[in-house]
Structure 1
Amino acid sequence: MTAQLLDHTLGSLASRIPGATRVFHTFHLDFCCGGQKTLRQAALENGIDALQVEDQLLALSPDEPHQHDWHEASNAQLIEHLLERYHAAHRQQLPELIRLAARVEQVHGAREHCPRGLTDLLLSMQQELESHMQKEEQILFPMIKQGDHPLVGGPIAVMRYEHNQHGDALESIVILTDNMQPPSEACNTWRALYRGLHELRVDLMQHIHLENNLLFQRALDEEGLNR
């Protein structure tokens, strides 16, 4: 069982084991953009003891909060979930985070731990993510819903590439904010900003995971295309 678990991909473990994503967040393992890597490979690349991660996965209680199994959903149902749960959420999250970041930088810019440059980073991220979501909504998702589309591999490759860019942006946020840990002197606005950034990171990683490791892979498999 141990060898089998170590050789499963992060994406499949995140999909099949309730609570696995929480464990992966704890160990800073990328199960969305890096979802095709096995647990063994990802742990090795990050200097983490794979057996320790596995122990925590195996210790997860069957009573962990239920995570919907989207493997059972149709492509249309999964797309609707992505639109309602994640596309809509990101469009609400980022404007408020930009407002909070601008306020923190304006008021606390001289402080040592102020995340200077965060506002510009979030503005860039907002523009790139909005463009990305529009391409999915207007081009890729209709192609997947239609089915039997031999050209679906091209747009999927582009979306996966852009997902990697979103992952890089999240990593920049983690570095800039000391893993979203506010300093002891942080005001309420600063703390609210970091809570919101944590929520954005969790949501965006789950969003990318469902697309990369489930929806897109399923569409490629249906067309008999390679990853």
Structure 2
Amino acid sequence: MQTLSLETPVRTIASELPGAAELFRRSAVNFCCSGDIPLREAAERVGLSPADMLAELEALQRAADREAPQETEPLIDHLLSRYHDTHRRELAFLIPLAQKVERVHGDHPVAPSGLARALVALQDELEDHMTSEEQILFPLMRRGQSTRISQPIAQMRHEHADTARLLQDIEHAAHGMALPAGACGSWTALYTGLRKLTDDIVLHMHLENAVLFPRFENPVAIKD
């Protein structure tokens, strides 16, 4: 992401910095519908110190790069097992759960209307994206090829931006994943799972955009 500062829009931070969305949720910072405002203004709106919030986000940024193996081959294996397999499994669980909550609680003022549809769109986007990585991009990387790799990487970055927009749709449909008083077990399980899924996807994209891809865009940085 661009250099983190008090002028960075909170929507950008939430979609690109692992852990930022959950920090914003806990702090009542709206990064969905009002996400174009800078961090400074967003913090002030909820009565928090902009400098303190920036420091917390910078700590998240430092921690993000240490989340996975540093060598290229183990990092690819980590992305496949920790994220590709996990996203598929969790979406297969969350989509019918969202459909159930929408069906049972559709008349509730904060029912997550449209959430299941947004999750299906995310599932379709991720499946195409991950399959392309598994069948094309990662095999090229494993062979150490850099001459034919720039276009696939550019396409993956473009698709990450599409995924970030879908995550905003999900956040909006789920009303910031704030549970209403007396929410049932299914609704609670849905939002608990959604928080994990969306935060995982942001970390997944960060590891590719900031750690893995630059090694092949700047081949001197490749580590085996």
Q: TM-score range by the shorter chain?
A: 0.7 to 0.9
Asked if 1:54 is matched to 2:51, the reply is no
Structure 2 spans left out of the alignment, 5+ residues: 26-35, 41-49
**SS state of the match for residue 179, structure 1?**
helix
Distance in 1, matches of 2:120 and 2:93, equals 11
Identify the match of residue 134 of structure 1 among 131, 138, 149: 131
Identify the match of residue 213 of structure 1 among 210, 214, 218: 210
- Going from structure 1 to structure 2, the CA distance change for 1:24 and 1:181 (only over 3 Å counts) comes to closer
- Going from structure 1 to structure 2, the CA distance change for 1:192 and 1:165 (only over 3 Å counts) comes to same
Q: Displacement of 1:148 after TM fit?
A: 3.4
1:140-159 superposed matches below 5 A? 140-159=137-156
**SS state of the match for residue 76, structure 1?**
helix
Q: Under a length normalisation based on structure 1, what TM-score does the superposition of the two structures give?
A: 0.74
Q: Quote the residue 1:26 is aligned against.
A: 23
Distance in 2, matches of 1:189 and 1:219, equals 43
Distance in 1, matches of 2:130 and 2:4, equals 33
Q: Quote the residue 2:32 is aligned against.
A: none
Q: Displacement of 1:73 after TM fit?
A: 2.2
Write out per-residue CA displacement over residues 12-71 of structure 1, whole angstroms, 9 at most, x where no aligned residue: xx9xxxxx844564247xxxxxxxxxxxxxxxx63222633333357x6xxxxx877368
Distance in 2, matches of 1:83 and 1:157, equals 20
The answer to whether the 8 A contact 2:149-2:216 is kept is yes
Asked if 1:164 is matched to 2:155, the reply is no
Write out per-residue CA displacement over residues 71-102 of structure 1, whole angstroms, 9 at most, x where no aligned residue: 86221110000001000100110011001101
1:36-185 superposed matches below 5 A? 46-49=37-40, 51-56=51-56, 69=66, 73-185=70-182
- Going from structure 1 to structure 2, the CA distance change for 1:113 and 1:25 (only over 3 Å counts) comes to closer
Aligned positions, number: 192
Counterpart amino acid of residue 196 in structure 1: G
The answer to whether the 8 A contact 1:140-1:156 is kept is yes
Write out per-residue CA displacement over residues 95-140 of structure 1, whole angstroms, 9 at most, x where no aligned residue: 1100110101111112211111111111121111111100000000
Structure 1 spans left out of the alignment, 5+ residues: 15-19, 29-44, 61-65
Counterpart amino acid of residue 145 in structure 1: R
The answer to whether the 8 A contact 1:82-1:207 is kept is yes
1:184-199 superposed matches below 5 A? 184-199=181-196
Counterpart amino acid of residue 83 in structure 1: L
Distance in 2, matches of 1:54 and 1:26, equals 11
Q: Quote the residue 2:219 is aligned against.
A: 222
Distance in 2, matches of 1:26 and 1:207, equals 18
Following superposition, which runs of at least 4 residues in structure 1 exceed 6 angstroms of deviation?
none
Alignment root-mean-square deviation, CA: 3.1
- Percent sequence identity is 38
Distance in 2, matches of 1:159 and 1:117, equals 26
Write out per-residue CA displacement over residues 123-175 of structure 1, whole angstroms, 9 at most, x where no aligned residue: 12111111110000000011111113212110011111111111111111111
The answer to whether the 8 A contact 1:87-1:133 is kept is yes
Distance in 2, matches of 1:161 and 1:90, equals 19
Q: Displacement of 1:209 after TM fit?
A: 0.4
Counterpart amino acid of residue 177 in structure 1: A
Counterpart amino acid of residue 93 in structure 2: E
Distance in 2, matches of 1:119 and 1:57, equals 30
Distance in 1, matches of 2:188 and 2:68, equals 37
